[in-house]
Amino acid sequence: MRALPAPFIGPLVALWLAVALALTLAAMPACASVVVAGTRVVYPAAEQEVTLRLSNVGKSPALAQVWLDAGDPKVDPSLLDLPFMLTPALARLDPGKAQTVRIVYTGEPMPPDRESLLWFNLLDVPPSPAEAVTGPNYVQLAFRTRLKFFFRPAGLAGRVDKAPDTLVWRLVTEGGKSALRVSNPSSYYVTIISARVGGSDPLARFDAGDMVAPGDAVSLPLSAAPAQAGTVFFTTLDDYGAPVKHEASLKLE
């Protein structure tokens, strides 16, 4: 997928990297003008396309560029070859206006037995300021937003809303500290935002957030060793980004 010709993309990526450095070095209030509806994108393979709505909530025009990547945020988008087409890849949004982005699967093979994870990128580039407002200390910021993009083949085993209930939880010791080892036997990605072991207010917690891929496992370090280890209470995110609470039996190793 080529969102834009390389001569244009390259400077924008370089601009974003420079802006990231500026944000690290400069403490100043700032916010993006162009926002995207939703916190994740799910593309069911049976659909001809999915759409996203971009809105300019700022007071100035903005340039919005969109593309997908396969997980490396530093890769030049012009070098990517993914089976999706985004239109428009570049659009001007006036204040208070919105733009619908169409994402179309072009049909090249994707794994048929599990979800695939890509990332949706939105680069919000503000207009050049008037000379009267610039000076030696002026910094212009561009903002990049990345959302998880799940491609979901048709006919996957099980239901996506039941995938968290299939997780297998084990209490393990890694590097001398307690951790939860979570295995995902389902065909779906599961995003875990928190987990706790034991009673109503245990010290054995995990609050950093993580995601476990289909057929894979992750380790979640706990803040302390649990006093009791019968049940794990955990919260996941659904297709709409809403938190859902669960509980499961905890196995010991």
The parent domain of residue 197 ranges over: 160-252
Task: Answer whether residue 126 is part of any domain.
Answer: yes
Q: Is the pLDDT of residue 145 over 80?
A: yes
Task: Answer whether residue 106 is part of any domain.
Answer: yes
Please say which residue of 122, 152, 182 terminates a domain: 152
Say whether both 140 and 26 belong to one domain.
yes
Say whether both 211 and 133 belong to one domain.
no
Please say which residue of 97, 118, 152 terminates a domain: 152
Q: Is the pLDDT of residue 4 over 50?
A: no
Task: Answer whether residue 225 is part of any domain.
Answer: yes
Q: Are 151 and 118 in contact (CB under 8 A)?
A: yes
Write down the pLDDT at residue 127.
Answer: 80
Q: Which two tokens stand for residue 137?
A: 């200390």
Distance, in Å, from the CA atom of 52 to the CA atom of 56, rounded to the nearest integer, reads 13
Say whether both 147 and 169 belong to one domain.
no
Say whether both 91 and 173 belong to one domain.
no
Write down the pLDDT at residue 251.
Answer: 84
CATH number (domain holding residue 17):
2.60.40.10
Please say which residue of 126, 152, 178 terminates a domain: 152
For the entire predicted model, the pTM comes to: 0.83
- Helix count and strand count (H, E) for the chain: 1, 17
Q: Is the pLDDT of residue 106 over 60?
A: yes
Lowest pLDDT segment from 3-7, 46-50, 98-102, 166-170: 3-7
Q: Where are the strands (E) in 106-242, listed by range?
A: 116-125, 143-152, 168-174, 177-183, 190-197, 205-206, 210-212, 217-221, 231-237
Task: Answer whether residue 44 is part of any domain.
Answer: yes
Say whether both 25 and 133 belong to one domain.
yes
The pLDDT tens digits of the residues spanning 194-212 come to: 999 987 667 899 999 999 9
Mean pLDDT of 30-58: 92
Q: Is the pLDDT of residue 86 over 80?
A: yes
Write down the pLDDT at residue 202.
Answer: 74
Q: Are 148 and 186 in contact (CB under 8 A)?
A: no
Say whether both 193 and 114 belong to one domain.
no
Say whether both 236 and 173 belong to one domain.
yes
- How does the average pLDDT of the chain come out, rounded? 86
Say whether both 14 and 137 belong to one domain.
yes
Q: Is the model more confident about 241 or about 25? A: 241
Torsion of CA 12, 16, 17, 22, to 10 degrees: 140
Domain count, the chain: 2
Say whether both 233 and 168 belong to one domain.
yes
Say whether both 121 and 238 belong to one domain.
no
Say whether both 141 and 76 belong to one domain.
yes
Write down the pLDDT at residue 78.
Answer: 86
The pLDDT tens digits of the residues spanning 159-202 come to: 999 999 999 999 999 999 999 999 999 999 999 999 999 876 67
Task: Answer whether residue 45 is part of any domain.
Answer: yes
**CA proximity to 219, closest of 166, 164, 173, 163:** 173
Write down the pLDDT at residue 17.
Answer: 42
Q: Is the pLDDT of residue 97 over 50?
A: yes
Write down the pLDDT at residue 15.
Answer: 44
Write down the pLDDT at residue 248.
Answer: 96
Task: Answer whether residue 1 is part of any domain.
Answer: no
Lowest pLDDT segment from 5-19, 21-35, 86-100, 208-222: 5-19
The DSSP code for 128 is P
Write down the pLDDT at residue 227.
Answer: 79
Say whether both 99 and 204 belong to one domain.
no
Write down the pLDDT at residue 5.
Answer: 37
